[in-house]
Chain A
Amino acid sequence: MLTIKNLHASIEGTPILKGINLEVKPGEVHAIMGPNGSGKSTLASVLAGREEYEVTEGEVSFKGKNLLDLSPEDRAREGVFLAFQYPVEIPGVSSTNFLRTAVNQVREYRGLESLDAVKFLSIMKEKMKLVEIDQKLLSRSLNEGFSGGEKKRNEIFQMAMLEPTLSILDETDSGLDIDALRIVSNGVNQLKTSENATIVVTHYQRLLDYIVPDFVHVLYNGRIVKSGTKELALELEEKGYDWIKEEADAASV
């Protein structure tokens, strides 16, 4: 589904990603872990098409297409979804109108009929249950005045509405209490099928208790320096990142 080969990216001339290789197949959950500044969020941003990042080398193919050639909106329409680490508050844009516009543009791209207001609302109600999000929240401006947990739940709710094939969760656990973490993870797990895949970007292991990964990759200094199964995450939780850094630094000398 997703193939990343030797991906290099920089921001304002500073290289951040220095040769990422990753293969994600349908039905898989990949966790990307790593210390602060290792490039985790950059990877998520580059995949979603954030313009500040310049891809200097390498390729990314998604369902056979060159992802890097597509605009951010076309990536979303193709089925890439980025759950933002910091969802943006947009005063004056109602959550419901925004989502209906998004869903219908995505549907149009995929050759599906656009949803009328009634149909849209009924689907919305059904998906709202997934993340236990309150209708009142959705009648407000997009993310405006939402708590940290509400914003993250809204991300997963949007994900449910847009039905992506590849979801990238960028530090979705940051700032969540245990209850919110459980709700958000529960939503993600229910959306999992054999057709779609998830990349979970996180600093901490605790999210992975809820969203169990098939693979764990450790990103350090712009490269994946270690890959393994979920046990690797537990090891990192116990021992921290220093041993990985030492191994990686030793290897690169």
Chain B
Amino acid sequence: MTTITKNKATDQFLENIAYFSNFQELRNESLAFLKNTGLPHSKEEEYKFTQISKKIEQNISTFLAADKISISAELIKSNLFEGFEGDVVVFNNGLFIEELSSISSPGYTLSKLSDSNSELLGSVAKIENDPFVALNNLSFEDGIHIKTEKGKKVEKPILFLYFNQANQGQIIQPRVLIEVAENSEVTFIENTVSQDEETYFSNTVVEVKVAQNAHAYYYRLQNENRKAISVTNFATDIHRYATFTSVALQLQADMLRNNLTLNLLDKGCVGNMYGLYLLNGKTHVDNHTNVDHTKPNSDSNELYKGILTDSARGVFNGKIFVRQDAQKTNAFQQNNNILLSENAIINTKPQLEIWADDVKCSHGCTTGQLDEEALFYLQARGIGKEQARGLLLYAVAGEVLEQIAYEPFKAYCIQLVEDRLGSSF
């Protein structure tokens, strides 16, 4: 392997990586890109606050795919939340396992990427957006390709269950491609289950195309072990009159980096991004969102909220790009943070680039502590201080959780959040 001067870690790891013979064009292109750029180092603007390459270097031994672990039907069952009814797609260290999955709902098909050979692969999540996309392109083993049927609603949600365990600090690289066909509707739920308390590095790429007048919802829970390192590139192409809604809940890990990109490609698109991060210990969570308004009359709504304590760190970066053509755009962004301890840190940055002149764009970010006046108000009505704190913190979180339209998952998340607010905060 040639020397990569930009990043020592990349050089070392590229020596020791799994190469596959399929998707050659994508893999070659990605390799060339990685050789040229390396993984992001700490001085790069986009990764200034999240030194994930260093983290990987220190904790991950190789970029070889983690060995498969044993997953039983009981294990899967025990990780379904109460009230869930729908299909379950199981991943074993990032690799889709057909035998353990249940795919029976009408309205969509699921195939392995190695079988579908879709030209769409790699076209939504672009290499130049993030070197980790290139890394996944280069060495994912296989992935899934979901296609909904035109005009059909997949009535029950599709649950992605990721079981992760990589004892030797190896890499887990899920790859998902979703095509939501014209006039169809579908809901996805994603949950990652850490099978032990040891380090792993997962590098996920999800690409979603939401076709004309289709509606897609993606709910994601990241509540992993305290050594988990994870990068996700989640990119969406949204077509005319289509809607895409993301709700992301982050509770625990070592370091999480999520790049969420919404490309509003036509008129009348709606992109919604909601996030909640409740962090304690040393958990570090970085949400980089990017919405690109390219055509007139599209809307984007974004609300990310964080509550941080101990030595947790949060990073929020919200890019809104409104191109010259995208008149009558409505783009709203809000990021609110509450810091409960002196050592908790938040770095928040709205980044708006507006080239059209007839648009409504707003953004705001706040960082503060718990509202003492509100706390006193509740106490003055006879509510105990601890419970009053819980009520107020939950009020912050609730606004995001309310965006989950699938009730059993909402109830599950609410329970997780309430447990957290009742104990660790």
Q: A residues within 8 Å of B by Cβ?
A: 48-51, 71-73, 75-77, 81-82, 84, 87-88, 90-93, 98-99, 101-103, 105-106, 109, 141, 158, 162
Contacts and interface: CB of A to CB of B under 8 A. Distances in A.
Contacts of A98: 378, 381, 383, 391
Interface stretch (B76-84, B232-240, B395-403): B395-403
Given A73-B383, A84-B380, A102-B382, 5 more contacts: A73-B380, A76-B382, A92-B398, A106-B381, A141-B395
Please indicate which of the listed interface residues A82, A87, A90 has the most CB atoms of chain B within 10 Å of its own CB.
A90
A75 B385 CA distance: 13
A235 to B, nearest CB: 33
B408 interface: no
Contact of A76 (B373, B381, B395): B381
Given A73-B385, A93-B392, A88 B379 contact: no
A203 B322 CA distance: 53
Contacts of B373: 88
Give the interface residue-count category, chain B. Answer: 20 to 34
Contacts, number: 75
A158 B373 CA distance: 17
Contact of A105 (B371, B374, B383, B396): B383
29 contacts: A50-B376, A72-B376, A72-B379, A72-B380, A73-B385, A73-B388, A75-B380, A76-B379, A76-B380, A82-B380, A87-B377, A88-B371, A90-B371, A90-B378, A90-B392, A91-B399, A92-B396, A93-B378, A93-B391, A93-B392, A93-B395, A98-B383, A101-B383, A101-B391, A102-B381, A102-B383, A105-B384, A106-B381, A162-B381
B382 A73 contact: yes
Please provide the 6 A-B residue pairs with the shortest distance between their CB atoms, ordered closest to farther.
A92-B395, A76-B382, A72-B379, A106-B382, A102-B381, A88-B377
Please indicate which of the listed interface residues B377, B380, B396 has the most CB atoms of chain A within 10 Å of its own CB.
B380
Contacts of B399: 91-92
Nearest to B379: A72
A73 B384 contact: yes
Contacts of A90: 371, 374, 377-378, 392, 395
B381 A158 contact: yes
Interface in B48-64: none
A51 to B, nearest CB: 7
Interface in B338-387: 371-374, 376-385, 387
A151 B383 CA distance: 19
B376 to A, nearest CB: 6
Nearest to A158: B381
